[in-house]
A and B are shown apart, each in its own frame.
Chain A
Amino acid sequence: MNYKYKDWLMQIAFTFGAILFAMFIGSLVIMFIGKNPITVYQSMLQFTFGRSDSIGAILFKSTPLIFAGLAVALSFRVGLFNIGAEGQYFIGALAASIVGFSLQGLPWFIHLPLVILAGMAGGMLWALIPALLKVKRGAHEVITTIMMNYIAYSVVHYFVADLFLDKAQNLPKGYGSPMVRMPKILESARMPTMHDFVGIFGVEMPRYIYLNWFFVIGILLAIAVYILIWKTPFGMEIRAVGQNPHASETVGIQSKKVYLKTFLISGAIAGLIGLSDLLGYIGYMDTDFPRGYGFTGIAVALLANNNALGVVLAALLFGFLRRGAEGLQAIEQIPMDVVVILEGVIILSIVVASQLMRRYFKTQEKKREKESQKTSASDGDKEGLENVE
């Protein structure tokens, strides 16, 4: 038992090692443009923790990443790779915004849940196709979901720029052209920000911080996913199929059904990724709708080792990095894309670290095995003698 504890510590050590390595690469990048990494990291910390508005901004930025990380982590758990979270959240956001601007006259407590459900349904629909093709035709989900991502971009573009283009935008004469966007989402479907709530505790959050209740929903969802994975029979099936589909089938688990259901849940969660921005911040769907959360979700899930609660922490870390990058751009004139580089390096170093860790554990196991063999070797010899008799 005591080695298990040691293994656990090792895991944390490797994770931190990977993050440190990424920071080291980041330092090289910073040095490349002639700045001192130490002062840069310092001012990043000062900016993110020295200002009252930063905490709210971090939480807001991490909100979509929580959903993205959960969606990807869940698919990893069952042994599938949902690269399609990207397309799924685009379709989810599209569905949500259609329901959001078209259903008039509903009270918020009906409209808002409807919009959220529409988002989940959209994501699920986009996951359904690759999932069915995987289970029925054996099509590799990585290829199909990548293709579905690009189909999603085009479909959304069609809806935004053609079918549902908001033609009722009234612009002051001579002030540019109308925006390529869909109609604005009705007030009844907007997600309220948390200003009033944090106000109860005497915290005043500036108006330009859009932290909203999706953050809380994300945390609750993470807990729910954690319970699903570790405390329910279905979660046990997910883990069993993910780790050994053959053994799972032998004990009567229908692995194809488990693949299908899990992928659909993953898609539904992915459908929520864009909603914090859509319903809590931007308020309409346009051609510049933020991209790339789905890919960052992969980084989040990997960093969290697919643990649902770890996803929250990893998302917060990425939120922190993104907030810090804004500061760097403002204070140090360092392009905030340095954080995207960091994200890429973190993914790579975390997966390399976990491979190294696996090798380390394997050799440890072999050592243990050899030791236990030594102790049982004497028994074996006796048995050999009996046989000769």
Chain B
Amino acid sequence: MVSRDLVIETKGLRKSFPGVLANDQIDIDIRRGEVHAIVGENGAGKSTLMKMLCGLYQPDAGEIFLNGEKIELSDPGKAIKLGIGMVHQHFMLIPRFSVTENIILGAENSNRGVLNFKKAHAEVEELCKRYEFDLNPKELVADLSVGEQQRVEILKVLYRGAEVIIMDEPTAVLVPQEVDELFKNLKLLVEAGKTVIFISHKLDEVLEISDRITVLRRGQKIGTVNKEDTNKKHLAEMMVGRPVLFTVEKGEADVEGTVLEINDLHYSENGQAILNGVNFEVKAGEIYGIAGVEGNGQTELVETIVGLRKPASGSVKLLGKDITGKEVVDIRKEGIGFVPEDRHKRGLVLPMTVAENSILGKHNSKDLKKSLLLDYKKIEALTKQYITDYDIRVSSPQVEIGNLSGGNQQKVILAREFSGEPNLIIAAQPTRGLDVGAIEFVRKELVKARDAGKAVLLISADLEEVMAMSDRIGVIYNGRITSEFLPEEVDHQQLGHYMLGSEKEGAAK
């Protein structure tokens, strides 16, 4: 069925961003009329690769071929003209426009600039019929469900005559029934001779829909396999690499009483339930790791604990004291050190100096003041202390923190958050985007804190990290901790299975 000729071929694609090498030496080949999945963990470089294919990013090096001819994709418009359309993970729709308006935008059929809506509606209806899309062209996009909005996105590229449709994590936002509907649509598209590139990290879906699968890891291509020649286990291994290469030197946990206790925590946003009754506790002297596919409520859970979001119901207790829904400043006073997942948004004020960032949040403490004014001598001395203790590579405390590398920025956050003798440390994605040396440093510091008898809550999308660091592991899925394990009880594949929604028998709380 699938013809063997290549639609798209890339050779040696490379793309880097400040501090990150997102893609390196990527060679892929896509055959006409196939569903080709690109899989990999978060940060493996899937989206960057796709954005180069649709003209949003220009590669630093390498070549792209379309039907055997070399092409330059200087902008998205060019890609569309060549028949490559992208359905973005975050929809590029205008809620205030109707379905038809969204679809024709930029490719309008007009008579001297005057739109012919009758004709446009008819065209859209015709497309809907051909590919069995259930949509009303006149409806406002704002009134559509997420699944319907995605159909509008697909129609947009079809309307422009796309032959190759790139879909970036299309199922991430869909409920199961919508996924079935989407797959039905995709099959029709392929039957009509279109080619689909499907980006995902959900292996079940990938195995269901695709003909061939390319695996990326850390910006590099690991390999391409036929669906028939592989299975979930094999793919998972390709994705995460060989099981646990690094070890963290840590002794037995010396666990004491409960520090953090979360009871039936609920949180919702814009009417959408995000946390659906979270229960767990973290004890002094242990690292409790939360594993899960991103977007299952990790961010909201952490921000609810530290007071940045107000829960709908449930309770958060720290050392027996109820801190539910209190202000951040009051919660921090109870002794929480917080390493946020987004350093630049939540962790630091980039235009301020290292010294200022080091004391942010403690700037009202008496130790740092001389009568009403800040005592800059003390601040500088404290910062210098941090710089030595945490091996921060910086020439002076007065350097703007935005000029430091990611690792050194993270060390400043660690210094600030760990130095107040907190009872609980919350570290969200603490090693994301760091270089190896800094990763090791951060991990060691977390273990050190745990050995000093602090409770550590670790949230990470990096399965290896969770496995190696944690004394207990909780799996979060759809806003709930669905299972808890000791690290020696499970292996990668099992844990991955639970992260995708299975529940440990009899263990659901």
Contact = CB atoms under 8 A, between A and B. Distances in A.
- A/B: CB atoms within 8 Å of each other: yes
Contacts of B241: 387
Nearest to B217: A387
Interface string A222-251: 000001000111001101100110111111
A376 B406 CA distance: 13
A244 B19 contact: no
B361 A246 contact: no
B306 interface: yes
Interface in B222-248: 241, 245
A367 to B, nearest CB: 10
A45 to B, nearest CB: 38
Given A1-B395, A233-B369, A250 B374 contact: no
A334 to B, nearest CB: 42
Contacts of B376: 231
A322 to B, nearest CB: 34
Contacts of A227: 373
Interface in A345-389: 365-366, 368-370, 372-373, 376, 379-380, 383, 386-387
A378 B329 CA distance: 43
Contacts of B19: 369, 373
B348 A249 contact: no
Contacts of B327: 252, 254
Contacts of A383: 436
B347 interface: yes
Contacts of A254: 327-329
A4 B399 CA distance: 8
Given A240-B349, A244-B349, A250-B346, A1 B403 contact: no
A387 B364 CA distance: 46
Pick from A236, A365, A369 the residue with the most CB of B within 10 Å: A236
B396 interface: yes
Given A246-B345, A376-B435, A387-B245, A232 B351 contact: no
Per DSSP, chain A at the interface is helix
A204 B248 CA distance: 80
A288 B229 CA distance: 87
A253 B345 contact: no
Contacts of B346: 246-247, 250
Given A236-B374, A244-B350, A253 B361 contact: yes
Nearest to A241: B349
B350 to A, nearest CB: 7
A135 to B, nearest CB: 15
B203 interface: no
B332 A252 contact: yes
B340 interface: yes
Pick from A240, A244, A250, A386 the residue with the most CB of B within 10 Å: A250
A250 B18 contact: no
B386 interface: no
Contacts of A243: 349-352
Contacts of B18: 365-366, 369-370
A252 B329 contact: yes
Contacts of B331: 252
Given A233-B364, A236-B374, A254-B329, A249 B308 contact: yes
A240 B308 contact: no
Contacts of A236: 356, 360, 363, 374
A39 B387 CA distance: 59
Contact of A250 (B21, B347, B356, B403): B347
Interface in B328-358: 328-329, 331-332, 338, 340, 345-352, 356
27 contacts: A1-B395, A1-B396, A236-B363, A236-B374, A237-B363, A239-B349, A239-B352, A243-B350, A243-B351, A243-B352, A247-B346, A248-B349, A250-B306, A250-B308, A250-B338, A251-B360, A252-B327, A252-B361, A253-B360, A253-B361, A254-B328, A365-B18, A368-B403, A369-B19, A373-B16, A373-B19, A380-B21
A-B residue pairs, 10 tightest by C-beta: A251-B361, A252-B329, A233-B363, A244-B349, A252-B328, A369-B18, A250-B346, A231-B373, A383-B436, A252-B332
Interface of A: 1, 4, 227, 231-233, 236-237, 239-240, 243-244, 246-254, 365-366, 368-370, 372-373, 376, 379-380, 383, 386-387
